[in-house]
Amino acid sequence: GRTGSATDLRNDLYIRGCKLYADVVKEHALMHLSEQEYDHALERHEEEVMVRREALDYAVQADVSGGNHIQIGELKLDVADALMKVGRTNDNWGRLQDAIEAYDETLKLRREVHPDPFHTSCPASLLDVLFCLGDIYAKKGGCHEISLRYFLELNRLLRKKNGSRHADVGAALTGIGKAYLELGKIDKSLKALSGARRIYETTTQWGQRTENEQTLLMADTLSAAGVVFQKMLRLDESVETLTKALEMRNAVSDQQDPLLAKTMNSLGTAYAKKGDYRCSLQLHRDALRVFKASPSKEVYLLDAAQSHTYIGVANKTHGDIRGAMQHFKAAKRKFSKAGVPSNHEELQIATKYLSDFEYLCAKATHMNQGLENDYDSLVSADSAASSIASSSRYRR
């Protein structure tokens, strides 16, 4: 009996020691995050996972009778929480595949402890990993069906757990709306986003979110709704909605937030479609500046390519042909790196203008007309490329 008690005490002390050390490492990681030192924060989060796994493995090996399932369950949740931090840090840093692996393992461990998410012992906060998975697959091009599945499951579970008026349900509906938007299902997208807006406008159930976090949730929904209005050619509504979203983001975001740049991009595109290239040009330039400053800029190559495209269109409209060519070339490089299909409309705009400009350059060179000194010939590319500009929905 004494031997057993001594062994139990030694096991308990070792597990407690591991947990205390992991807590210290976690605080160091948070300190690095506050300084935006993502590489050091990630190292500390990974160390925390390792230490908490050690505590879990030790508890499992020591539990020869199989009667210590409560403590083992708690230790599994500790590992899952640490993995969530690894996932989020990788996510913020643009390492999407590493983040997905961490989120997947988090979901697996949480389901082992709570196989029935509707049971009262399973808090709704444990479902946040479904939101993270839906969001990260939305960022990972070509995975919008997967993103939609996670958000639909999250919406179903949250309505059961929290009721239909909780802000978390609004966040899930926004994810659903954004996924439908990318899949071209505009009516379904608008329905989901409108549902999210109604919740945010009336709910008092914000959970533990700060006022800034509440503002960002609403801005995210408005940004997506503004793009939907563009697709429907309701351009005045698009500009109004996106302007409000941008004001919200500017009030609470730092100038490295890529979602701030995405909203600028969308509003700039709305102005371009309305024919206001001055506003469009400034917004897309601002968006590029933010994308370049973001630690996860590689994730937003497609958005940066769109900025380059519309800066090129605005430059061409104002007669800056050389500047237009530079931005169209940059757009093509980024579209290629992002792996978009050749029928992508903005890629077609950049390709069409470039081919027309390059044809005129080659023709001028062949005729020994220094193109730099023959401005009129270069500007004539405008009429040669006008078919794509007038027919594309991006110039309406």
- Work out the pLDDT band at 67, boundaries 50, 70, 90: low
Helical segments of the chain, H only = 2-34, 38-62, 69-93, 96-113, 128-139, 144-162, 167-182, 186-202, 211-231, 235-252, 258-273, 277-293, 301-317, 321-338, 345-366, 375-379, 381-384, 386-391
Residue 122 structure tokens: 């399973």
Residue 100 structure tokens: 């997905």
Higher pLDDT, 394 or 231: 231
pLDDT at 173 > cutoff 70: yes
The label of the residue with tokens 């029935």 reads: 116
Instruction: For 95, list phi and psi in degrees, rounded to 5.
Output: -90, 80
The pLDDT, as a whole number, for residue 358 is: 72
Chain segment 364-373, per-residue pLDDT in tens: 566 554 444 4
Mean pLDDT of 374-388: 47
Higher pLDDT, 6 or 363: 6
pLDDT at 112 > cutoff 90: yes
Mean pLDDT of 296-312: 84
Orientation of helix 2-34 relative to helix 38-62, angle to 10°:
170
Higher pLDDT, 339 or 47: 47
- Residue 206 neighbours by CB under 8 Å, 6+ apart: 167, 214
Which SS3 state, helix, strand or coil, does residue 303 take? Answer: helix
d(CA 96, CA 102): 10
d(CA 289, CA 255): 9
DSSP state for residue 124 in the 8-state scheme: G
Residue 324 structure tokens: 């237009």
Higher pLDDT, 101 or 377: 101
The pLDDT, as a whole number, for residue 62 is: 82
Burial annotation 282-295 (CB, 10 A radius, 16+ → b, else e)? ebbebbbebbeebe
The pLDDT, as a whole number, for residue 255 is: 81
Residue type, 86: V
Instruction: For 340, list phi and psi in degrees, rounded to 5.
Output: -75, 155
Chain segment 325-338, per-residue pLDDT in tens: 899 899 888 888 87
Mean pLDDT of 81-93: 92
> Smallest Cα–Cα separation from 45: which of 93, 1, 84?
84
d(CA 166, CA 204): 8
The pLDDT, as a whole number, for residue 129 is: 95
Of the listed ranges 12-16, 25-29, 138-142, the one predicted with least confidence:
138-142
Whether 340 and 347 have beta carbons less than 8 Å apart is answered as yes
> Smallest Cα–Cα separation from 389: which of 317, 287, 295, 305?
317
Chain segment 250-285, per-residue pLDDT in tens: 999 888 888 999 999 999 999 999 999 899 999 999
Percent above pLDDT 70 for the chain = 88
- Work out the pLDDT band at 182, boundaries 50, 70, 90: very high
d(CA 287, CA 270): 14
Residue 49 structure tokens: 């996972």
The label of the residue with tokens 């010939």 reads: 377
- Work out the pLDDT band at 140, boundaries 50, 70, 90: confident
Chain segment 195-219, per-residue pLDDT in tens: 999 999 999 999 888 999 999 999 9
- Work out the pLDDT band at 314, boundaries 50, 70, 90: confident
d(CA 387, CA 396): 12
Percent above pLDDT 90 for the chain = 55
pTM here is 0.82
d(CA 385, CA 320): 15
Whether 265 and 287 have beta carbons less than 8 Å apart is answered as yes
